[in-house]
Amino acid sequence: MRSRQVGQSGGMTGTGAARTARTAREAWRAVLDAWAVLLPTACSGCGAPDRALCAACRALLVPAVRVTERGGLRVWAGLDYAGVPRRVIASFKDGGRTDAAAALAPALLAAVVAALAAVESGGPVESRGAAETGIRLVTIPSSRRAWRARGFLPVELLLRRAGLAPHRVLTGRETADQVGLDRAARSRNRDGSLRALRSLTGVRCLLVDDIVTTGATVLEARRAILAAGGEVVGVAALAETRRRLPVTHRSSETD
Peptide bond into 141 cis (omega under 30): no
Same structural domain, 140 and 16: no
**pLDDT for position 127:** 36
Q: End-to-end alpha-carbon separation of the chain, Å?
A: 56
**pLDDT for position 4:** 41
Same structural domain, 206 and 168: yes
Same structural domain, 30 and 74: no
Q: What CA–CA distance (Å, rounded) separates 138 from 115?
A: 13
Same structural domain, 100 and 163: yes
Which is nearest to 238 in space by CA: 114, 124, 97? 114
The domain tally of the chain equals 2
**pLDDT for position 7:** 43
Q: What CA–CA distance (Å, rounded) separates 238 from 211?
A: 6
Same structural domain, 136 and 228: yes
- Residue by residue, DSSP assigns 151-217 as SS-HHHHHHHHTT---B--EEE------TT--HHHHHHHHTT-EEESS--TT-EEEEEEEEESSSHH
CB 91 within 8 A of CB 100: yes
**pLDDT for position 128:** 42
79: domain range?
Answer: 58-240
Q: What is the pLDDT along the chain (255 residues), one digit of tens a residue?
A: 444 443 444 444 556 666 776 777 667 566 555 545 455 689 999 999 978 899 999 999 999 999 999 999 999 999 999 999 999 999 999 888 999 999 999 999 999 999 999 997 544 343 344 555 589 999 999 887 877 888 899 999 999 999 999 999 999 865 555 555 555 555 555 556 799 999 999 999 999 999 999 999 999 999 999 999 999 999 999 999 975 544 333 344 455
**pLDDT for position 41:** 84
Helix (H), strand (E) at residue 64: none
- Asked if the structure places residue 116 within a domain, the reply is yes
**pLDDT for position 29:** 61
Same structural domain, 92 and 198: yes
- Asked if the structure places residue 187 within a domain, the reply is yes
Same structural domain, 32 and 131: no
Beta 73-80 vs 231-240: how paired, if at all?
Answer: parallel
- Asked if the structure places residue 215 within a domain, the reply is yes
Which is nearest to 251 in space by CA: 140, 139, 93? 93
- Asked if the structure places residue 245 within a domain, the reply is no
Same structural domain, 113 and 183: yes
- Asked if the structure places residue 254 within a domain, the reply is no
- Asked if the structure places residue 253 within a domain, the reply is no
Same structural domain, 73 and 152: yes
- Residue by residue, DSSP assigns 102-153 as HHHHHHHHHHHHHHHHHH--SS-HHHHHHHHHTEEEEEPPPPHHHHHHHSS-
Same structural domain, 230 and 161: yes
- Asked if the structure places residue 50 within a domain, the reply is no
Based on the number of CB atoms within 10 Å of its own CB, is 42 exposed (0-12), middle (13-18) or buried (19 or more)?
middle
Same structural domain, 132 and 224: yes
Same structural domain, 83 and 153: yes
- Asked if the structure places residue 251 within a domain, the reply is no
